[in-house]
A and B are shown apart, each in its own frame.
Chain A
Amino acid sequence: MFYRQCGVRHVSYAADWQLWPLRFERLQVGALLLAAASAPLWLPGLYLGSYALPVIIFATATLGLDLIMGRAGQIHVGYAAIMAVGAYTAVHAVRAGAPFEVGLLAAGLASALVGLVAGATALRVKGLYLAIGTLALQFLVEWVIVHVPAIGGGAQTTLQAPAVRVLGVAPVTTLGARYWVALAWCVLVTAYMLNVGRTGFGRALVALRERDYAAAVLGVHVFRYKLLAFSVSSFVGGITGAVLAFTYYRAVTPEQFGLDVSIQLLAMGLIGGLGRVLGSFLGAAFVFVVPIVISTALPGALEAAGLGLPVAVLSHLQIIVYGALIVGFLLLEPLGLAKIYDNVRSYFLVWPFGYARRTMG
């Protein structure tokens, strides 16, 4: 129907390597990009600031986490701590007078360094023990931020993120400007993640994920690529943390990067579908928006149906819905939202000739 595809007729390698071989999908991506870029012009400020902006930033963070979880197959339960390192570094750098871009770069480098240390643990242990090691990293970073006044500014302190300018000229103060900064970073990371699977680095990570012994036999330097995966992913996470601090919260507190945020990012990755760029976006949007929508819409709907819920249930509805979503998705669709999208897409790919072989994966 939409796809109008008949046979594979590539005549050059470039055509075969295309990210989106179908014309309809190229149009889709273009339209989405246009809609996202022009969102500040048509989306009401409330939705832009409290839904679109955080979803874009969390999708970027999920993409960074996906590099280590979906591509390299390592478990990371402390990604929010990595983001916290970046956010605090950037805020301190900018407060000390560094330009915004330098602050972001410093954030990425500092996080990459911390990620490298976490990755060094990965050289000794893997699987479950790595998960617990990264969990310890999460608590350790939180503790350091709260207890070292030079970093966190003392207990229960909020550090304001100063107003910044992009390239020294364009001030990032209005909601639209903040959104565009976040979007630019998101597009950059998305482009990287779309392409990393086609590079030697990305293929080495996938080999690591599937079986590290086999990867080593094939000549993949396991130590090196694990450390690289951890530091690249942390670099992305650090800058995303800084972007989150500067464009969304406009301040940093330790609570913004707690264990629950790490778990939320894991949930976004898993519900969206591991190892899929589309999955990170779908997962971030779903996990961020659905619990809010359900917990605000459900009480009203039940009220209308004559079934009032007790206050105790209402106040915990969001966390219950969130937990149930994680459990439900893992049990019913372990490959996530991206797989659901794939099923729909491959149905329409050959519609109305359902018996035909689906060639375009």
Chain B
Amino acid sequence: MTLVFLTELAVNGALVGLMYSLVALGIVLVYKSSSVFNFAQGALVMLAAYLVWAGSRVVGVVGGVLAAAAAMALLGLGIERFALRRMIGQPLAMALMLTLGLEILLRGLGPAAWGADTKRFDLGLAEAPLFLGDVLVNRTYLAGGAAALVLLVLFALFFRTRVGITLRAVSDDQVASWSIGIRVERAVGLSWALAALAATVGGTFWAAVQGVDWSVSLLLVKATAVAILGGLDSLAGAVIAGFAVGVTESVVSGYLDQVVGGGTKEIVTLALILLTILLRPHGLMGREIIERI
């Protein structure tokens, strides 16, 4: 019983963690290209979830996801062009506050456009319970975790293309990229579009898990923990950290919740953020360029 219970917690936790990293990928992509922490990612995921839900009622699930992806990519480009670009040369606090302001604005606009009640969204997966050996696995989690891995592979391949290499150059050194003729602004805009695409995939699966309402944007906290633990500029780090956060959170809360009466899930996330910042600020796989004084 205990071993099966433990494996079940670990497996489902790992899959949920991979779904967290779907959200965290957007933070990492933007940070890589422009060193701005994307506090708006939670609201982007929420908006994507609304769009997927609304689209799927008109043109079916696949069509809805594609339409939402196109709309979100445009929104990402727009955010860079009309908002973040003006923050170049301003203090870091300004850019952070801008993404926070966007988060607040989108958090209001989503429910305002579609109503505040929770929308049920069905991905069309089979309902029957899925057992791997003795372990009960949630099908939505499984699909979401798989999507996170597929997305990671796609991004890894993308970073080997010509455009992807310019993105890597920009994340290395903006001024140097500029001097050899890379359009830095365009690269940053592209990274926002990619972040919005990651948000669409994340929004689709999280909508299937918990329904669509404003609380989807609260995933920002988990995604922050994942992005920090993985290292803010490492895509692979985000996935590994998602795995780690998911397993730790699920196993710890699975055992401790019975003892202390609930609520340990959040504290695990926070403890992970604090410990990472204190012990290893660049995370598991991030580049160690954090200035210390």
Interface, chain A (partner B; CB < 8 A): 69, 73, 75, 121, 123-129, 131-133, 135-136, 139-140, 143, 146-147, 212-213, 216, 222, 263, 266-267, 270, 274, 312-313, 315-320, 322-324, 326-327, 330-331, 334
How far is A318 from B102 in the complex, measured between Cα atoms in Å?
14
In the complex, what's the smallest C-beta–C-beta distance from A209 to chain B, in angstroms?
9
Look across to chain B and name the residue whose beta carbon is closest to the beta carbon of A270. B97
In the complex, what's the smallest C-beta–C-beta distance from A132 to chain B, in angstroms?
6
Interchain CB contact (< 8 A) of A125 among B263, B270, B281: B281
On whether the beta carbons of A143 and B263 are closer than 8 Å, the reply is yes
Residues from chain A with a CB closer than 8 A to the CB of B277 are 121, 124-125, 129, 132-133, 136
Interchain CB contact (< 8 A) of B116 among A139, A213, A312: A312
Pairs A-B, 3 closest by C-beta atoms = A323-B105, A326-B101, A323-B104
In the complex, what's the smallest C-beta–C-beta distance from B144 to chain A, in angstroms?
25
Number of cross-chain contacts by CB at 8 Å = 137
How far is A331 from B87 in the complex, measured between Cα atoms in Å?
8
1/0 per residue B128-158: CB within 8 Å of A? 0000000000000000000000000000000
On whether the beta carbons of A320 and B37 are closer than 8 Å, the reply is no
Look across to chain A and name the residue whose beta carbon is closest to the beta carbon of B82. A331
In the complex, chain B residues 66-114 whose Cβ is within 8 Å of any chain A Cβ: 82-83, 86-87, 90-94, 96-98, 100-109, 111-114
- Is B63 an interface residue when CB atoms closer than 8 A count as contact? no
How far is A121 from B232 in the complex, measured between Cα atoms in Å?
18
Residues from chain A with a CB closer than 8 A to the CB of B232 are 128
In the complex, what's the smallest C-beta–C-beta distance from B289 to chain A, in angstroms?
11
On whether the beta carbons of A323 and B108 are closer than 8 Å, the reply is yes
How far is A128 from B30 in the complex, measured between Cα atoms in Å?
13
How far is A335 from B34 in the complex, measured between Cα atoms in Å?
22
Look across to chain A and name the residue whose beta carbon is closest to the beta carbon of B104. A323
Task: Supply 8 A–B pairs (Cβ within 8 Å), ascending by A.
Answer: A125-B277, A128-B96, A129-B281, A129-B290, A131-B93, A143-B267, A274-B93, A312-B115
On whether the beta carbons of A133 and B293 are closer than 8 Å, the reply is no
Look across to chain B and name the residue whose beta carbon is closest to the beta carbon of A321. B108
In the complex, what's the smallest C-beta–C-beta distance from A207 to chain B, in angstroms?
13
Interchain CB contact (< 8 A) of A75 among B96, B98, B228: B96
- Is B291 an interface residue when CB atoms closer than 8 A count as contact? yes
Look across to chain A and name the residue whose beta carbon is closest to the beta carbon of B283. A129
Residues from chain A with a CB closer than 8 A to the CB of B106 are 323
On whether the beta carbons of B107 and A323 are closer than 8 Å, the reply is yes
Look across to chain B and name the residue whose beta carbon is closest to the beta carbon of A322. B104
On whether the beta carbons of B263 and A69 are closer than 8 Å, the reply is no
- Is B191 an interface residue when CB atoms closer than 8 A count as contact? no
On whether the beta carbons of A315 and B116 are closer than 8 Å, the reply is yes
Given known contacts A136-B273, A331-B86, A319 and B93 CB-to-CB distance under 8 angstroms? no
Look across to chain B and name the residue whose beta carbon is closest to the beta carbon of A332. B86
Residues from chain A with a CB closer than 8 A to the CB of B273 are 132-133, 135-136
Given known contacts A129-B281, A136-B273, A139-B221, A334 and B94 CB-to-CB distance under 8 angstroms? yes
How far is A27 from B104 in the complex, measured between Cα atoms in Å?
40
On whether the beta carbons of A263 and B116 are closer than 8 Å, the reply is no
In the complex, what's the smallest C-beta–C-beta distance from B267 to chain A, in angstroms?
6
1/0 per residue B255-293: CB within 8 Å of A? 000000001001100100110011001000000001111
Residues from chain A with a CB closer than 8 A to the CB of B33 are none
Residues from chain B with a CB closer than 8 A to the CB of A318 are 108
On whether the beta carbons of B108 and A320 are closer than 8 Å, the reply is yes
Look across to chain B and name the residue whose beta carbon is closest to the beta carbon of A146. B263
Given known contacts A270-B94, A327-B83, A216 and B224 CB-to-CB distance under 8 angstroms? no
Interchain CB contact (< 8 A) of B92 among A75, A316, A320: A75
Given known contacts A125-B290, A313-B112, A323-B107, A132 and B92 CB-to-CB distance under 8 angstroms? no
Look across to chain B and name the residue whose beta carbon is closest to the beta carbon of A144. B267
In the complex, what's the smallest C-beta–C-beta distance from B223 to chain A, in angstroms?
12
On whether the beta carbons of B86 and A263 are closer than 8 Å, the reply is no
On whether the beta carbons of B281 and A124 are closer than 8 Å, the reply is yes
On whether the beta carbons of A143 and B266 are closer than 8 Å, the reply is yes
On whether the beta carbons of B224 and A132 are closer than 8 Å, the reply is yes
In the complex, what's the smallest C-beta–C-beta distance from A124 to chain B, in angstroms?
6
How far is A166 from B239 in the complex, measured between Cα atoms in Å?
57
Look across to chain A and name the residue whose beta carbon is closest to the beta carbon of B35. A128
Given known contacts A131-B37, A320-B108, A330 and B270 CB-to-CB distance under 8 angstroms? no
Interchain CB contact (< 8 A) of A263 among B37, B104, B278: B104
On whether the beta carbons of A319 and B104 are closer than 8 Å, the reply is yes
Look across to chain A and name the residue whose beta carbon is closest to the beta carbon of B112. A316
In the complex, chain B residues 26-40 whose Cβ is within 8 Å of any chain A Cβ: 35, 37
Look across to chain A and name the residue whose beta carbon is closest to the beta carbon of B95. A330
Interface centre among B83, B96, B97 (most CB of A within 10 A): B97
Residues from chain B with a CB closer than 8 A to the CB of A125 are 277, 281, 290, 292
In the complex, what's the smallest C-beta–C-beta distance from A219 to chain B, in angstroms?
15
On whether the beta carbons of B293 and A270 are closer than 8 Å, the reply is no
Known: A263-B100, A326-B101, A330-B101. 14 other contacts (CB 8 A): A69-B93, A121-B277, A125-B292, A126-B291, A128-B96, A136-B270, A270-B97, A312-B112, A313-B113, A320-B108, A322-B104, A323-B102, A326-B98, A327-B101
